[in-house]
Amino acid sequence: MSDLTFDPFDPAQTQNMWDLMVELRDRAPVSRPMPGFVYVARHADVKAVFRDAESYSSREGFRGANVTLPLEESFLGEVDPPLHTDLRVLLLQAFRPGLEKRAEAFTRAYVERLWDSIASAGGGELVAEFGLNIPPAVTGHILGIPPDDIEQVGRWGFELIHSTWPETNATERGVGIGGAFPEFAAFLDEQIQWRRGVSDPPDDIITRMTRAEADGHRLSDLQIRTLCANVLLASLSTTNLIGNLLHRFLTDRSFEESLRGRPELVPVAVEESLRLEPPVMFLFRTARIDTEICGEVIAKGERIILGIASGNRDERVYERSDEFLLNRVDPVEHLTFGPGPHLCLGNQVARMEARVALETAMERFQPGGLSTAPGFTLQRVPMFLEYGPERLDAIVQSSS
């Protein structure tokens, strides 16, 4: 099976393995791309592993081999039951239903200002000047980050997720968020302490996390800091979703025309983008016991690579699975937000941000009025499990 091997930590390979995914789904739905790692390629198997928290641990998260974090410094997706269940109960007191609806007015106003700036300049780099700004701004607004600090918090998050920290939990500055990014950690600590110290703090997610309680358990300051960073960093993958949609909007005129002719298809476009070009291509689990996937024996301790991108294009589940279609009828749920106990808490916020980005683009620019700059060549973000444009140079066409 040597022809089916790849390095899951090399973006040059993981972002360009669509043909290999077809081979894997057909010939080796469960394979070993490198020692100690098992890649799961088909939709049903990926979904089953996502849902089986008893057999497959999230504890090592997306980290490299032999990297395990202290529990209080672990993201929600890196914690197993029963602690995961307890944390999720506490977090659901902060992430109340309808969060995306309450944040939409802020999102729309913020996005419209970004488009105005780009239009005034005659164009811009839509990842750095648009897509990268929206998720931390909206998430910061939801968390309760002061507006003047949102831009800096977004920069810290971007630097962190694109450093060595995701794989190793460290940079040259130190270990953990506190050591690797001390300014970011200190800022979050200050926000938490301020809310604990005033009698009438604002009703935001940080405040709700400081007050959340279940069966006598409360979140520690370090857990709140970790979860704030978790929410901010998880939201950054929405940059890839927005970038993928805008790249299609700028380069595929039939796509733009379809949305302009039927604006009600914008949510469908968001879902199809999430399926076909998932912002996160795979996630990891670790076998807690000797088990079996699709007839393949899995040894306790082996790392499972859940092939989200591959499962989302499974020919057994989706007709014309490698095409972007706006007329899919009742498609099977895609795997992008992780079905099961670890379902992404911010999934509806991410969908709302992407929808607003497309809707406001159509409102702000004439048909064909936004296009890629001459000589633009698509390059993907240099992150092994992400999928989105690294930059998106655009120009605004005059109305004449």
Tally the C-alpha atoms within 13 A of residue 115's C-alpha that lie toward its C-beta. 20
Q: Are 88 and 94 in contact (CB under 8 A)?
A: no
Q: Is pLDDT of 105 > 70? A: yes
Lowest mean pLDDT among 49-58, 80-89, 113-122: 80-89
Mean pLDDT in residue range 208-218: 84
Residue 62 pLDDT level (bands cut at 50, 70, 90): low
Which has the higher per-residue pLDDT, 125 or 99? 125
DSSP string computed for 330-378: SPPPPSTT-SSTT--TTHHHHHHHHHHHHHHHHHHS-TT-EEEPTT---
What's the full length of the chain, in residues?
A: 400
Q: Nearest-5° angle of CA 218, CA 220, CA 225?
A: 125
Backbone φ and ψ of 383, nearest 5°: -130, 125
| d(C-alpha 11, C-alpha 280), whole Å | 12
Q: Nearest-5° angle of CA 46, CA 51, CA 53?
A: 115
Domains and CATH numbers, the chain: 2-396 (1.10.630.10)
Lowest mean pLDDT among 93-102, 238-247, 254-263: 93-102
Least Cα distance to 235 among 312, 165, 150 occurs for: 150
Lowest mean pLDDT among 101-110, 145-154, 298-307: 145-154
| d(C-alpha 321, C-alpha 344), whole Å | 24
Cα distances (Å, whole numbers) of residue 263 to 136, 229, 259, 312, 348: 26, 35, 5, 25, 19
Strand 56-57 and strand 282-287: the pairing is: antiparallel
Partners of 213 in beta bridges:
218
Sequence-distant (6+) residues with CB within 8 A of 91 are: 76, 209, 212, 227, 345
Burial (CB count <10 Å: 0-12, 13-18, 19+), residue 305: buried
Strand 37-40 and strand 30-34: the pairing is: antiparallel
* pLDDT tens sequence across 368-379: 999 999 999 999
Predicted model pTM: 0.89
Helix (H) or strand (E) holding 297, with range, is: strand 296-298
Mean pLDDT in residue range 291-314: 96
Lowest mean pLDDT among 86-90, 160-164, 244-248: 86-90
Strand 37-40 and strand 303-307: the pairing is: parallel
Mean pLDDT in residue range 323-350: 91
Q: Are 102 and 375 in contact (CB under 8 A)?
A: no
Helix (H) or strand (E) holding 289, with range, is: none
* pLDDT at residue 380, as a whole number: 95
Least Cα distance to 94 among 207, 226, 215, 221 occurs for: 207
Q: Is pLDDT of 400 > 60? A: no
Q: Is pLDDT of 268 > 70? A: yes
Q: Is pLDDT of 60 > 80? A: no
Helix (H, G, I), strand (E, B) or coil at 198: coil
Which has the higher per-residue pLDDT, 340 or 110? 110
Q: Are 30 and 294 in contact (CB under 8 A)?
A: yes
Q: Are 353 and 245 in contact (CB under 8 A)?
A: no
Q: Nearest-5° angle of CA 378, CA 161, CA 248?
A: 25
| d(C-alpha 363, C-alpha 367), whole Å | 10
Token digits of residue 331: 């498609």
Token digits of residue 259: 């949305």
Mean pLDDT in residue range 47-69: 83
Max mean pLDDT range (50-64, 159-173, 226-240, 254-268): 254-268
* pLDDT tens sequence across 106-148: 999 999 999 999 999 999 999 999 998 999 899 989 889 988 8
Q: Are 165 and 180 in contact (CB under 8 A)?
A: yes
Helix (H, G, I), strand (E, B) or coil at 381: coil
Which has the higher per-residue pLDDT, 97 or 372? 372
Mean pLDDT in residue range 11-22: 96
Residue 154 pLDDT level (bands cut at 50, 70, 90): confident
* pLDDT at residue 186, as a whole number: 96
* pLDDT at residue 254, as a whole number: 96
Residue 359 pLDDT level (bands cut at 50, 70, 90): very high
Residue 64 pLDDT level (bands cut at 50, 70, 90): low
Q: Is pLDDT of 161 > 70? A: yes
* pLDDT at residue 23, as a whole number: 96
Determine what percent of the chain is predicted with pLDDT higher than 90.
Answer: 67
Q: Is pLDDT of 152 > 50? A: yes
Residue 61 pLDDT level (bands cut at 50, 70, 90): low
Which has the higher per-residue pLDDT, 2 or 59? 59
